[in-house]
Amino acid sequence: MSSSLNDFTPLEDVGGYLDILARLDIGFEIEWNPEHVVNSTWHENIPLAFWMAKILRPSVFVELGTENGASYMPFCQVIKRFGAPTKCHAIDLWKPLNKGDNSHQYKFDLVNGHSELHYQGFSTIHRASFDDCVDMFDAGEIELLHIDGRHSYEETRHNFDAWADKLSREKGIVIVHDINVVWESENFGVYRFWDGMRGKYPSFTFAVGAGLGVLGVGNGLPGQLQYLLSSDNETKLKIQTIFGNRGLNVRRFAEIMLQGKSLSWKMTQKWKPLAKKPRIFRMNSFLRKIFRGYRWLRHGHAPPSAP
């Protein structure tokens, strides 16, 4: 019996996952990997972030707490790829966290350089405190706000309250990182903030890795985001499975990339001492001259140079 491409049995939608993919309008963005790969606890959220930015196409995106750009850059990546009309703003002090810690300058240069090279024209880096930047934005202007500063309950609450007026009443979305971290000794209280907020607005709790809370503060959100935020718990768990599985793959991808980077760095360090010993090379060229002189004496003419 011959078969053709037209002879196929439609896939059975076990668990209703195909229906969810269609309702959320999830496309190939879920398969992308980040272009800017750095150490972070944000990797698992990247597929969800890609999709969210594609659907929302925010006019203004603000990130409070950027550090080395693990979360900020994927938003810029998807905005550039889809040609969304978004102005992106990264805000961070990039100041030493502990005495003797100089990584802040390296992180600032990394983020600033990557932004200038790839996202010039729509990305602005602000080296300032969150509070000092609030008045740069008009009321209701921000359509996507990411809160990822210090992790105490009080500071997370303060950041939300200080920026609340700037959120769009129509398309406003707030995302909050680290809602899944319960680390009392380090004063992590984002989960307590999230517990208090998630009932006040339509919300989606993405409890994979360090966790990301999605809060719908606007009342005119695109249908796909409304579906995410107001589905029943069973559907939300399935949505978490879809984005979470891909998110764990992004983490693995990032770990492999970072291992490769650190290996090539170690190799460079290993061979560095050779470059630091020019005397070896000077001795080498001295010996070559003696050898050429010897050949000159022996053959009575300059020998042909080696190929």
Ligand X SMILES: C[S@@+](CC[C@H](N)C(=O)[O-])C[C@H]1O[C@@H](n2cnc3c(N)ncnc32)[C@H](O)[C@@H]1O
Binding site for ligand X (CB under 6 A): 40, 42, 65-68, 70-71, 91-93, 129-130, 148-150
Report CA-CA distances (Å) from 66 to 63, 124, 175, 183, 205. Answer: 7, 12, 14, 21, 21
Query: Least separation, in Å, of the C-beta of 243 and ligand X?
Result: 17
Query: Least separation, in Å, of the C-beta of 12 and ligand X?
Result: 39
Report CA-CA distances (Å) from 282 to 158, 277, 285. Answer: 64, 9, 5
What's CA 51's distance to the chain center, in Å? 13
Indicate the residue whose CB is closest to ligand X: 65
* Residue nearer to ligand X on the CB measure, 115 or 224: 115
* Residue nearer to ligand X on the CB measure, 26 or 62: 62
* Residue nearer to ligand X on the CB measure, 91 or 214: 91
For residue 127, count CB atoms less than 10 angstroms from its CB and return exposed for 0-12, middle for 13-18, buried for 19 or more: middle
* Residue nearer to ligand X on the CB measure, 149 or 218: 149
Q: Please report which helix (H) or strand (E) contains residue 146, including its range.
A: strand 144-147
Query: Least separation, in Å, of the C-beta of 138 and ligand X?
Result: 20
Q: Is 205 helix (H, G, I), strand (E, B) or coil?
A: strand
Query: Least separation, in Å, of the C-beta of 67 and ligand X?
Result: 4
Query: Least separation, in Å, of the C-beta of 85 and ligand X?
Result: 23
* Residue nearer to ligand X on the CB measure, 42 or 191: 42
Contact 221, 173 (CB under 8 A): yes
